[in-house]
């Protein structure tokens, strides 16, 4: 499996020609099939894909992690480029998605309002666990017992003129099974990354999780871009992730660099920063017994290309 980060908030340090914006877009290539997971905030991910030699026109399916425009803002561009791929997404929010900060700053955060009506035949709503292509599964309506990110307090749906907290029933998690192991993809983990991992474990009991890839929505508001909750809360998330059957975590976007530093202090080499232009290759394991003399902290099957040390300052609202 090869995962290419077509769009993330921060510039690539290996190719300065790649664009970047507040958003996330991942291309997942498997043997005989390809999935586009989110499209960033605009069509700029298309130019990045061309630069990275990723053929979006041949993607078999697309998945929208949730109905926010920093993940689905490029959908119209993708639909024009790829005339055949279905787009799978969760149920419509019960109102329009908005950001509301300090009670006065408000900004629309939802998808293009006309998009689903303009292309009704291209979208398929996922209301229960579904295998969309062989070994690629979507799990909607994520519950769980772990706390949800503190940053959700700024995210609302506008219904009948009133702003109510977004319950994120429109969010889903993707699990890809390859060589008897799973790779889990999150968009922003508004439902909580631990709840998302638990949802996958519940669907696939006993199946090892090689990696979790995506954002965790731990960042604070710009311009400070600190941590939405407390450092202790982030440490607890890190410790809980270490207690799950997850090999390596790759995270960026709305996790935020301040929260990433805390996660890294607990998880060490089990967590890797992810930015625009990065590629993660997950290879078949070399036998089931592992290899003597190799640290058990890192899975033997993961190779990372073009990952760089984080640079300061993330700007965005989600």
Looking at residue 119, its pLDDT comes to 97
Residues of the chain with pLDDT under 50: 287-301, 307-318
68/110 Cα distance (integer angstroms): 5
Show Cβ contacts of residue 179 under 8 Å, excluding neighbours closer than 6 positions: 284, 285, 301
Among 67, 111, 114, 96, smallest CA distance to 161 is for 96
Any idea which residue has 């700024």 for tokens? 154
For 135: left if phi > 0, alpha if psi spans -120 to 50, otherwise beta; the answer is left
Looking at residue 105, its pLDDT comes to 82
Looking at residue 290, its pLDDT comes to 32
Provide the pairing of β-strand 25-30 with 33-37.
antiparallel
pLDDT tens for 212-269 read 999 999 998 765 569 999 999 999 999 999 999 999 999 999 999 999 999 999 999 9
Domains of the chain, by residue range, sit at 2-305
**May I ask the CATH architecture of the domain 2-305?**
4-Layer Sandwich (3.60)
CA 171 to chain centroid: 11
191/66 Cα distance (integer angstroms): 11
pTM for the predicted model, two decimal places: 0.90
Residue 220: CB atoms within 10 A of its CB come to: 18
Looking at residue 222, its pLDDT comes to 62
Looking at residue 303, its pLDDT comes to 53
Residue 104: CB atoms within 10 A of its CB come to: 6
pLDDT tens for 140-161 read 999 989 999 999 999 999 999 9
């Amino acid at each position: 499996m090869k995962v290419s980060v077509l769009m993330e908030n921060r510039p690539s340090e290996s190719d300065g020609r790649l664009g970047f914006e507040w958003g996330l877009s991942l291309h997942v290539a498997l043997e005989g099939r390809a999935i586009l997971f989110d499209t960033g905030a605009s069509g700029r991910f298309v130019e990045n894909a061309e630069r990275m030699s990723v053929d979006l026109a041949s993607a078999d399916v697309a998945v929208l992690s949730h109905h926010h425009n920093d993940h689905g803002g490029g959908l119209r561009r993708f639909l024009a480029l790829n005339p055949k791929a279905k787009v799978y997404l969760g149920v419509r929010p019960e109102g329009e998605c908005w950001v509301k900060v300090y009670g006065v700053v408000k900004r629309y955060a939802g998808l293009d309002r006309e998009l689903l009506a303009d292309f009704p035949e291209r979208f398929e709503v996922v209301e229960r666990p579904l295998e969309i292509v062989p070994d690629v599964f979507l799990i909607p309506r994520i519950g769980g017992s772990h706390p949800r990110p503190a940053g959700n307090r700024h995210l609302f749906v506008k219904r009948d003129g009133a702003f109510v907290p977004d319950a994120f029933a429109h969010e889903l998690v993707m699990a890809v099974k390859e060589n008897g192991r799973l790779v889990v993809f999150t968009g922003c983990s508004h439902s909580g990354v631990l709840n998302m991992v638990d949802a996958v474990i519940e669907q696939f009991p006993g199946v090892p999780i090689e990696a979790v890839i995506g954002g965790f929505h731990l960042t604070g508001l710009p311009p400070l871009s600190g941590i939405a909750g407390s450092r202790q809360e982030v440490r607890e998330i890190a410790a809980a992730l270490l207690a799950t059957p997850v090999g390596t975590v790759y995270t960026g976007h709305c996790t935020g660099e301040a929260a990433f530093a805390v996660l890294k202090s607990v998880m060490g080499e089990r967590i890797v920063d992810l930015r625009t232009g990065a590629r993660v290759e997950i290879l078949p394991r070399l036998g089931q017994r592992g290899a003597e003399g190799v640290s058990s902290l890192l899975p033997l099957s993961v190779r990372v290309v073009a990952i760089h040390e984080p640079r300061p300052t993330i700007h965005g609202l989600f």
